[in-house]
Chains A and B, each alone.
Chain A
């Protein structure tokens, strides 16, 4: 009896350990579709009734903690901090609140980075590789708590000015151009 218990405990332990596989780092993988910039919607208004909602865009880098932390590094390296600070904003709008002027979907954030936006946001098209823009987009969404806690950075490299992204409560986006989105 005792013997059986030990064996089953060992089996359970082995199963649990085997499930602890390490997350794969995406080092040389093609980024998501290039067409996103053309398909994202910047206005929340559609002619006629808003009966069929636009399908949300997705970003495969949001499933990888490594990619999100790379986005965090790039956010510093490419001087996003210069205007948006560490999420609190300054010259540019804050990124850790619920107001998303040009949309909160991954594709919208990507398009904002690539195209630039009026009144100061530069266009990074041809200046940074697309996969990096997707990584930054993933990190930007984590600043508003829109990513699962498991992939959001849980350690900050700067002075302790705000809680880490993994501890940020989810900011339900107000959507684009004033049309509120339904909380998911």
Chain B
């Protein structure tokens, strides 16, 4: 079991450039992923047995065929008894196959029910909306000023049920964080819900798993599972309006932001920028990555992204912004001050 597990881990890690621990079906961090992993191994071993039997049968048939081939003349007599036996053999194999498939079907249904059917008490509710090509994350609250809006990085408390409401703004996307649970499609104009609960703190990677256009491959997200205390601190910080810029460069940056194309798509709460087309940037400096897990959140990456996003993610909705060098430095300084 352990050898097979390590081998499968190794092969999967080779196939994926990401840190295997952060994006791995067999390193579950949630009961939902445990159930899926259990089903994976049950099917793996069933199919392993089938594989061994098949190879044995082929080898047997091959040896038999060699004996016949070495015979000078093929025997063409009809062997009623042998045919009868062969008929039974094929029938039995067919029956076993159907039974095996049926067992797998039943186990899949059982796993599906286990993943879905857990009860949740005092859950954290998160609304995830797919966009081409980023994830809008909202923590809805009955009071509008208590609603947190962010993008691409989902903070969740460990050991607390998380209910995820899904929707999409444009085309079908799919939410897939293999350490946490199975894939969930986000359908435009159709709300659905699922839930998970993370047991181990850590940062888990997720990826859009339904082809959604040119930049489908650059539509990642991360789930940051932290203690309830850390999560509440993060939430309180996110609820604040944007930090007032303190340096003269950042003040100039805000002016540039509010007089150029930036404000046509982005929100910075506490300023006049309030459009909901692109990600909310009120606390953009608190995120690890930008452009849906495409670039690290550094001054250089931010500047490159602002000037020519079409070079980094061709087809993205963000337009190139040919800013003067001073203006660009100022905007980047302002964005980096938005903790």
Inter-subunit contact B319/A129 (CB<8 Å): yes
1/0 per residue, CB under 8 A from A, across B68-105: the answer is 00000000000000000000000000000000000000
Inter-subunit contact B264/A27 (CB<8 Å): no
Give Cα A132 to B319, complex, Å.
8
Which residues of chain B are near A25, meaning CB under 8 Å? 315
Inter-subunit contact A127/B265 (CB<8 Å): no
Which residues of chain A are near B317, meaning CB under 8 Å? 73, 77
Inter-subunit contact B261/A127 (CB<8 Å): yes
Inter-subunit contact A77/B265 (CB<8 Å): yes
Is A128 part of the contact surface with B, judged by Cβ < 8 Å? yes
Which residues of chain A are near B308, meaning CB under 8 Å? 28
Inter-subunit contact A28/B277 (CB<8 Å): no
* B186 CB, nearest partner CB in chain A, Å: 16
1/0 per residue, CB under 8 A from B, across A147-175: the answer is 00000000000000000000000000000
Give Cα A78 to B264, complex, Å.
7
Inter-subunit contact B260/A27 (CB<8 Å): no
Give Cα A127 to B272, complex, Å.
13
Give Cα A128 to B263, complex, Å.
9
Is B320 part of the contact surface with A, judged by Cβ < 8 Å? yes
Inter-subunit contact A127/B264 (CB<8 Å): yes
Inter-subunit contact A127/B277 (CB<8 Å): no
Partner of B320, one of A73, A77, A127, A129: A129
Q: Interface size bucket, B side?
A: 10 to 19
1/0 per residue, CB under 8 A from B, across A27-39: the answer is 1100000000000
Give Cα A25 to B277, complex, Å.
22
Which residues of chain B are near A126, meaning CB under 8 Å? 259-261
1/0 per residue, CB under 8 A from A, across B260-277: the answer is 110111000000000101
Q: 8 Å CB contacts to A: which residues of B240-270?
A: 259-261, 263-265
Which residues of chain A are near B235, meaning CB under 8 Å? none
Inter-subunit contact A28/B311 (CB<8 Å): yes
- Interface residues of B: mostly helix, strand, loop or mixed? loop
Give Cα A128 to B310, complex, Å.
16
Which residues of chain A are near B259, meaning CB under 8 Å? 126
Is A102 part of the contact surface with B, judged by Cβ < 8 Å? no
Is B314 part of the contact surface with A, judged by Cβ < 8 Å? yes
**B316 to A, closest residue via Cβ:** A27
Partner of A28, one of B261, B265, B314: B314
Inter-subunit contact A127/B260 (CB<8 Å): yes
Q: 8 Å CB contacts to A: which residues of B290-335?
A: 308, 310-311, 314-315, 317, 319-321
* A71 CB, nearest partner CB in chain B, Å: 13
**A131 to B, closest residue via Cβ:** B319
* B132 CB, nearest partner CB in chain A, Å: 9
Inter-subunit contact A128/B311 (CB<8 Å): no
Given contacts A28-B310, A28-B311, A28-B320, contact A128 B277 (CB under 8 A): no
* A93 CB, nearest partner CB in chain B, Å: 22
**B315 to A, closest residue via Cβ:** A27
Inter-subunit contact B264/A128 (CB<8 Å): yes
Give Cα A78 to B266, complex, Å.
11
Which residues of chain A are near B311, meaning CB under 8 Å? 28
* A131 CB, nearest partner CB in chain B, Å: 7
Give Cα A27 to B260, complex, Å.
20
Inter-subunit contact A27/B314 (CB<8 Å): yes
Give Cα A131 to B311, complex, Å.
16
Which residues of chain A are near B260, meaning CB under 8 Å? 126-127
**A70 to B, closest residue via Cβ:** B317
**A78 to B, closest residue via Cβ:** B264
* A68 CB, nearest partner CB in chain B, Å: 15
Give Cα A73 to B171, complex, Å.
13
1/0 per residue, CB under 8 A from B, across A122-143: the answer is 0000111101100000000000
16 CB contacts below 8 A, A to B, read A27-B315, A28-B310, A28-B311, A28-B320, A77-B264, A77-B265, A77-B275, A126-B261, A127-B260, A127-B264, A128-B261, A128-B264, A129-B261, A129-B319, A129-B320, A132-B319
Question: 6 smallest A-B Cβ distances: which pairs?
Answer: A77-B277, A129-B319, A28-B310, A27-B314, A27-B310, A127-B264
Further 4 A-B residue pairs, CB within 8 A, beyond A127-B264, A131-B319? A27-B314, A126-B261, A129-B261, A129-B319
Q: Which B positions have Cβ atoms within 8 angstroms of A?
A: 259-261, 263-265, 275, 277, 308, 310-311, 314-315, 317, 319-321
